Amino acid sequence: MKYCSTRGGVSGLTFTDALLMGLASDGGLLVPEQIPDVRDNLASWRDLSFVELAQEIIALFVDDIERKDLDELIRAAYMSFDHPEVIGTKQLDAIKVVELFHGPTLAFKDVALQLLGQLFTYVLNARGQRLNILGATSGDTGSAAIAGVRGQHNIDIFILYPRGRVSPMQELQMTTVADSNVHCVAVDGSFDDCQNLMKAVFADLDFKQQYQLGAVNSVNWARVLAQIVYYGFASLRQHKESVFAVPTGNFGNVFAAYLAYKMGFPIQQLIVATNENDILARFYATGDYSRGESKKTISPAMDIQIASNFERFLFYYLDRDATKLAQMMATFNTTGRCSIGAPPTDGIFKAYAVTEAETRSALHEVYSEHDYILDPHTAVGYVAAQRSLAAAAANAGQGHGDTETVMTVMATAHPAKFPETVHESIGTTPTHPSLEALRDKPTRSGALPAELDAVKAYLIERISA
């Protein structure tokens, strides 16, 4: 399996080269040159454990790591999860919740980033190299990435996060890590500012090479690859086709679901659930992708106006036309807007934007009716799932939705990561021992303006040291 850029300037990369490159050197995103068709494997895969299925799926995309070594890296990645099947489930009437938060930082990002840490360490040791990871986070990526590489002798990690726009608990998960290879930086701006700064640093190819920079955000293909697994696993555990409602900010999580669908897993539809930062919902309604002002909400990891992984979807939607895609992205970067002219016609995606009031109502409703606590991001997905069920029932002219599908909400974080917001909605404060242990620990972080020169100077000083 080889990898190419969505913008056409890079091709023929091995998996390990793609892993270390992160963002493609032409400014695009790396994607596999083929998407495997696994329909003939589904019957034999149906009863595999999560780890066993991960070993089968990931091996299809990795042919430059010995299979026995790859299998061991995958097995080791999930030893730190506190659920016997890595992910859990909860049935809430017509909606099934898939819990992706049983990893060390209690967020879905752990599923990918625990593996990414294993892969980085293996490849760097094999090549005798070191890496300086630069990432941007709207909440969970930072702590999950740090957990994956903390203490590694040949990796330093730098995480940019928007000051005051992640939850206090998410910030503690990053800033209480004492390992010397971990560097957290509060940026005066939004997550979009942080992400743009990260991309601008990577766009300086001489700087990127000189300081051995790599990516850990979902711009890194390996992140998306690992996330395909839980969609395959969840879909195979059903006896009907799945509809997945995915809380979405940067589009990486739902794009992994899209690839699982393209590979042939039994998936009927994907629901893109956004908060009031609704750029993706507007696109699927109109075909227009236009940047707005980033709004601060109670689901902060989704407070994003530029969904970086959306470029990967457009690449496939445009039939892998890299030239057309590059022109669209150039237009968007210049004007803040691009368009495909009409709503997408492939039918796999449906999108809903959810208000704060609806999110709070869902938190209260689920707790009152099911004694189950959602986090505010999963609550966005829950509202979108309810809307989809109601639309299906209305279309059928009956009092229920499509009986040939299973409505599934992807639970992206443990509610204890957002105790203040959850308490305001349900009157109860969720807790988790690993988070409570952070409250009295010392913290450390840098502080920077949202300026490229300031970020580069910060990196140079600490990498040189």
**CA pair distance 106, 296, nearest whole angstrom:** 22
- At which residue do the structure tokens 């990898």 appear? 3
| β pairing state of 405-411 and 446-449 | unpaired
**CA pair distance 454, 97, nearest whole angstrom:** 42
Give the DSSP letter of residue 374. Answer: -
CA dihedral 114, 115, 117, 119 (to 10 degrees): 170
3-state secondary structure of 303: coil
Sign of CA dihedral 372, 377, 381, 384: positive
- The H-assigned helical ranges of 78-157 are 109-127, 140-149
Give the DSSP letter of residue 300. Answer: G
**CA pair distance 38, 255, nearest whole angstrom:** 18
**Strand locations in 266-310, DSSP E?**
267-274, 288-290
Instruction: Please give the positions annotated as active site.
Output: 109
- Which residues touch 256 (CB under 8 Å, ≥6 apart)? 224, 225, 227, 228, 231
- Which residues touch 322 (CB under 8 Å, ≥6 apart)? 4, 5, 6, 7, 8, 28, 315
